[in-house]
Structure 1
């Protein structure tokens, strides 16, 4: 292998990385309540988000709207969303609050740095119950 091949390969890799960045591929961090609402509205037909709580690490969120709650979590390079009907099952965890979705494949979602009181306030008319 000569220096031209090495330089060309490196340039191609950097060009592809730049294109991926411009297209926002692999960008799945939920960094604000507005972004969480946007993800939920895009994924769930007829859902209109009103309020949201985002995990400190940007890996999960809850969005209230239409009398239901959208649960979001990062899964690889994507954000997956599920609509849950009340009552939600909450469990206090050392790192925050865990929401039991009842789906085996989706699993439980932990909101780091979030308190049960914050989730209860988000719910409004949605009844929440705590599981021990």
Structure 2
């Protein structure tokens, strides 16, 4: 392999990376509460979202819906969702709140910058709607 081929290969790889970035391929950040509500409604059949808590890093969210709470978390380049029934099992962590899903493969979900009273308020909103 000569230097021209090597340089051409590197330029082609950088060009493809730039195109992927422009198209936002592989981006799974949950950017806002509205985004979390939209994702939960798309992923869970019959789910009608009305309130959401989003982690500061965009890696997880809790969404209150019609009698259930959706737990969202980044899973590679996608977002994974599970439906949980209240009361939620959670505990305060140093950086936020950790929600226990009870599912070994999905695991627990930590929401950074969220406090336990926010989670309790979201749970309480299920009975008000």
TM-score of the alignment, normalized to the shorter chain, above 0.5: yes
TM-score in terms of structure 2 length? 0.88
The answer for the alignment partner of 1:100 in structure 2 is: 100
The answer for the alignment partner of 2:73 in structure 1 is: 73
Structure 1 position 70, deviation (Å)? 0.5
Q: Does the CA contact (< 8 Å) of 1:67 and 1:125 recur in 2? A: no
Superposed, which structure 2 residues align to 1:35-54 within 5 Å? 35-54=35-54
5+ unaligned residues in a row in structure 2: which ranges?
none
Alpha-carbon distance in 2 for matches of 1:126, 1:97 = 19
SS at 2:62 equivalent: strand
5+ unaligned residues in a row in structure 1: which ranges?
128-132
Alpha-carbon distance in 1 for matches of 2:46, 2:15 = 39
Structure 1 position 96, deviation (Å)? 1.1
Structure 1 position 8, deviation (Å)? 1.7
Aligned CA-pair RMSD: 1.6
The answer for the alignment partner of 1:130 in structure 2 is: none
Tell whether 2:5 aligns with 1:9: no
Q: Does the CA contact (< 8 Å) of 2:66 and 2:126 recur in 1? A: no
Alpha-carbon distance in 1 for matches of 2:35, 2:61 = 10
The answer for the alignment partner of 1:87 in structure 2 is: 87
The answer for the alignment partner of 1:115 in structure 2 is: 115
Alpha-carbon distance in 2 for matches of 1:115, 1:50 = 19
Structure number with the higher strand fraction is 1
TM-score in terms of structure 1 length? 0.87
